[in-house]
Amino acid sequence: MRPTRFPVLLLAVLFTAPFASARLHSSQNEPAPAAPHRTTARTARAAKEVAPTIPPSAYNDHPKLAIILVIDQFRGDYLDRWRADFKDRGFNLFLEHGAYFPDCYYDYANTKTAPGHAAIGTGAYTDGNGINSNDWWDLARNQERPVSSVEDERYRIVGAPDSSIPANRPGAPPNAPKYLTGSSPRNLLASTVGDELRLATQGQAKVFGISLKDRAAILPAGAAANGAFWIDPASGYFVTSSFYMSQLPDWAVAFNTGDAIAQAEQEAGLTSVTNFYGQVGRTPAANSYELSFAEALIQGEQLGQHDVTDLLTLSLSANDILGHQKGPDSPDEHEMVDTLDTQLDTFFTWLDKNIPGGLGNVWIALTADHGIAPIPATAAQYGLNAATFDLKKLTANLDYAINMKFSPGEKIQYILPHQELPYISLNESEFLKAGIIEQEAEAAVQQLLPAAVASLVPAPPEPQPSDAAVVPPNPSSTQPPPEPSGQRLPPRPVLFRSYTREQLADGPYPPTPWGKLIAHSYSPNGGWYIMIIPADYQMEQLSSIQTTHFSPYSYDRHVPLGFYGAPFAPGIYRGRVEPVDIASTFAALLGINQPSASVGHILTQALKPDAEVLYPKPKPIPPVRTHRARTETHHTAPTAKSAPKATTPKATHP
Ligand SMILES: [Zn+2]
């Protein structure tokens, strides 16, 4: 298919970038625009001229570049909470010059990083895309440990420095990367908006994913992406997998061997870095580092300089690494967000200068893969029952009870080790050896679960009601009932719900919003399992971090959703929307098929009438000399010493 050139007639009337002409009529304190915008005289003329022609779409490079920007663990209330701090065109690009939806919630229960990123790319939840967690047990592939959502032993990592010896090789340092294996979207069971863009343009559109994390680079970009890049944890080198290419493109090699890593370490205030991911990754410098790599990729791959629309998914990981350690209410988190505001302003300004026609030829969607719970101790201070679960003790209690039921006197490990909420994974081999099928095993564990939870923190005797005269005293107790407490009692673990894998797969689901949310959470991945849902604000006990996300509760499901770009009518749009709406809305506007399992809605309430959607005329494209040719100071980001001519990596798959 040949791309259709945007009509010259229309280009002649398109002289103003949407950013420059953005009507700042709407702010948080003003009502959201309710009806389509009134057509101005100029746009009416444009409409008259445009009417008989082919509308803007991916096929005629409108926009030149679409970006899905994901901030890992960025809860939906942050932008309101720290709104007064924002300056220039960082977050305000969405809040003041774009369409912003403050009430965006995921509609599923397993709010982890991999499923969140998969949902953003595919416009589908776990029941549609198959990704239910970051890691899960797959005994057919590995009986020693859970496999990750993207690891793939059929491929190898490409681009790691020689010094990065994997953990399972002799001589590996203590901070060695965990896996020798490569990665791929092998478990992603649905296409992404990027995949559909590649199919629709017959490979002319370029699609890439970037993150510090493999899963967050791979899953939103999809199987047909030209490449996905994440970092080697020890060195900070950006790497990829032989699923995508057999060697790094020259521009990526230049980035890795330039001074970017040293500058990031310096910006983080670190002198001795042995674990880039853990040490630099938790600082704002990691965001500078990723944004610099994104610029290098955009220039190296000439994104936005094709006859069709290109797509980049960019997931910024630093907020998640810091947020787990410090919690959402910490000054560190506040500082990270404010710094990111400045870093995004610099990145958007860079796009304005480096994409043909400027920022007016770019769409950007902003969201997050999940929110975060307050640190349990903080929530408990305010009186919430924010208990933590001792997961090891819980599984030991369950194993004991299952042995009592099925193999009295024995100590068979029916529950697999390395559990992570919301899942308790069962050792199907041991159950099968005992002649117990999945349904019976899961039902038995589910039945024993309440008692196992209750025994985590044995309940003290309760005081008698004040009308105790009507309650006969317990004759077997030698202790008098305690007096009512004069202060708040400590939090206690509460099991709210549990679902076996078979219940998740088949229902019945109640015909309620809760039932839909649970139905969205099913995946066959993970073998035999029980999904357990503690009460709100509760989580497993954490050793090296302070808080986490995994639950169906609002604080884990609430994320920002913002759009910037020519088709979007600036305003604050109140009303529930979902991150899966990004893929649907982009696909619709690009004129391509929805991703294969998409359940998102097209956010028509935020779209301008077609006649008002104007794109600036691109200037002639300057030749690419170096990926960091500009001279202005970037968020203290580095400049590679040399950048050989950009090349296109060869995909090793169709
Ligand atoms: Zn995450």
The residue with tokens 């997961």 is: 391
Task: Provide the pLDDT confidence category of residue 632 given band limits of 50, 70 and 90.
Answer: very low
CA of 553 to the centre of ligand 1 (A): 16
Residue 256 CA to residue 336 CA, distance in Å, equals: 25
- Residue 474: predicted pLDDT: 63
Residue range 258-315, pLDDT digits in tens: 999 999 999 999 999 999 999 999 999 999 999 999 999 999 999 999 999 999 999 9
Residue 193 clears pLDDT 90, i.e. is over it: yes
CA 231 to ligand 1 center in whole angstroms: 16
Structure tokens at 553: 């509760």
Average pLDDT, the chain: 87
Average pLDDT value for residue range 118-147: 96
Residue 451 has pLDDT above 50, yes or no: yes
pLDDT tens, position by position, 371-383: 999 999 999 999 9
In the reported structure, the alpha carbon of residue 279 is separated from the centroid of ligand 1 by a whole-number distance in angstroms of 18
DSSP states of 213-227 as a string? SHHHHHTTT-TT-SE
Rounded to the nearest angstrom, the distance between the alpha carbon of 229 and the centre of ligand 1 is 17
Quick one: pLDDT at residue 629? 36
- How confident is residue 53, by pLDDT bands cut at 50, 70 and 90? low
Task: State in Å: Cα 111 to ligand 1 middle.
Answer: 8
Q: What is the pLDDT of residues 596-630, one digit of tens each?
A: 999 999 999 999 998 899 999 876 655 555 544 33
C-alpha 318 – ligand 1 centre gap (Å): 10
- Residue 647: pLDDT band with limits 50, 70, 90: very low
pTM (predicted TM-score): 0.86
**How many angstroms separate the alpha carbon of residue 113 from the centre of ligand 1?**
4
Inform me whether the pLDDT recorded for 470 exceeds 70: no
pLDDT band at 483; cut points 50, 70, 90: confident
Q: Give distance in angstroms: CA of 320 to centre of ligand 1.
A: 6
Q: Are 124 and 108 in contact (CB under 8 A)?
A: no
Q: How far is the CA of 371 from the centre of ligand 1 (A)?
A: 8
Residue 515 has pLDDT above 90, yes or no: yes
DSSP for 59-119 reads GGTSSSEEEEEEETT--TTHHHHTGGG--TTSTHHHHTTSEEEEEEE--SS---HHHHHHH
Q: Phi, psi (5° rounding) for residue 184?
A: -165, 170
- For residue 405, how far is its CA from the centre of ligand 1 (angstroms)? 39
Beta bridge partners of 311: 66, 207
Contacts (Cβ under 8 Å, ≥6 apart) of 337? 78, 82, 85, 319
Q: How far is the CA of 70 from the centre of ligand 1 (A)?
A: 9
Q: What is the pLDDT of residue 163?
A: 75
220 C-alpha to ligand 1 centroid (Å): 12
Q: 34-43, 605-614, 631-640 — which one is most confidently predicted on average?
A: 605-614
What is the tens place of the pLDDT at every residue in 314-362?
999 999 999 999 999 999 999 999 999 999 999 999 999 999 999 999 9
Q: How far is the CA of 203 from the centre of ligand 1 (A)?
A: 30
Helices (H) and strands (E) in the chain, counts: 23, 18
DSSP characters over 417-435: SS-BTTEEEB-HHHHHHTT
Q: What spacing in Å lies between the alpha carbon of 108 and ligand 1's midpoint?
A: 15
Mean pLDDT calculated for residue range 374-396: 96
**pLDDT band at residue 21 under the 50/70/90 scheme:** very low
Centre of ligand 1 to C-alpha 145, Å, is 21
The CA 112 to ligand 1 mean position distance, Å, reads: 6
Span from the CA of 72 to the centroid of ligand 1 (angstroms): 5
In eight-state DSSP terms, residue 143 is: S
Please check the confidence at residue 415 and state whether its pLDDT lies above 90: yes
What residues have CB less than 8 Å from 577, skipping those under 6 apart?
101, 103, 104, 561, 601, 603
E strand or H helix that includes residue 241: strand 238-241
CA-derived radius of gyration, the chain: 26
Lowest mean pLDDT among 72-86, 335-349, 481-495: 481-495
Q: How far is the CA of 134 from the centre of ligand 1 (A)?
A: 9
Lowest mean pLDDT among 116-130, 296-310, 491-505, 626-640: 626-640
Report the residue count for the chain: 654
Q: What is the pLDDT of residue 469?
A: 59
- In the predicted structure, residue 396 carries a pLDDT above the cut 60: yes
Least confident range of 139-153, 342-356, 634-648: 634-648
Backbone angles phi, psi at 177, to 5 degrees: -60, 145
